[in-house]
């Protein structure tokens, strides 16, 4: 598989009020864990319930990439493919990891996580990748 033809999505979960700097720190930490990989971040995905979080919106805008809102149904469909298990996330969002489920759902049904979520302060970030032609 040619790495340049991969769609890479960052899934973001956060506490309310997380700043764009905090979101960017989590993104940077998650990307640092996989670099150099030859992949470029294509979009940020977050649950619809977090779609108006200023920090997430600002981070996507600063990177010039789309912010994709993931429905609860799509989060739950991706849940079996998550790697980590948070009781808090399960209680609040009915998924084991909000960031991982959002990344997987945002990257499509053939996607795979590039590793477990990264936690930086109030923000979690996970990266998922799928071939563009797998969409």
**Average pLDDT for 85-102:** 95
The answer to whether residues 89 and 97 touch, using CB atoms and an 8 Å cutoff, is yes
Residue 5 is predicted with a pLDDT of: 52
Rounded to an integer, the average pLDDT of 92-100 is 96
At 34 the pLDDT is 83
Residues of the chain above pLDDT 90, percent:
83
Number of Cα atoms under 13 Å in the Cβ half of residue 124:
23
Confidence band of 119 (pLDDT split at 50, 70, 90):
very high
pLDDT band, residue 38 (cuts 50/70/90): low
**For residue 24, pLDDT beyond 90:** yes
Q: Evaluate if residue 99 carries a pLDDT over 70.
A: yes
How far apart CA 37 and CA 21 sit, in angstroms, is: 24
pLDDT in tens, 59-76: 999 999 999 999 999 999
Label the pairing between strands 41-47 and 6-14: parallel
Alpha-carbon gap, residue 15 to 6, rounded angstroms = 29
Cis peptide before 3 (omega within 30 of 0): no
How far is Cα 14 from Cα 24, in angstroms, rounded to an integer? 12
Contact 37, 4 (CB under 8 A): no
Domains and CATH numbers, the chain: 3-134 (3.30.420.180)
């Amino acid at each position: 598989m040619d790495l340049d033809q991969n769609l890479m999505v960052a899934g973001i979960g956060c506490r309310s009020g997380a700043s764009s700097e905090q979101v960017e720190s989590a993104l940077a930490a998650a990307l640092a864990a996989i670099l150099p990989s030859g992949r470029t971040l294509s979009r940020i995905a977050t649950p619809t319930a977090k779609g108006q979080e200023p920090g997430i919106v600002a981070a996507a805008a600063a990177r010039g990439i789309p912010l994709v809102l993931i429905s609860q149904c799509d989060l739950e469909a991706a849940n079996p493919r998550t790697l980590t298990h948070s009781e808090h996330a399960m209680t609040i969002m009915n998924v084991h990891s909000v960031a991982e489920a959002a990344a997987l759902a945002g990257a499509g049904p053939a996607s795979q996580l590039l590793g477990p979520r990264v936690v930086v302060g109030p923000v979690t970030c996970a990266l998922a990748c799928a071939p563009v032609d797998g969409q």
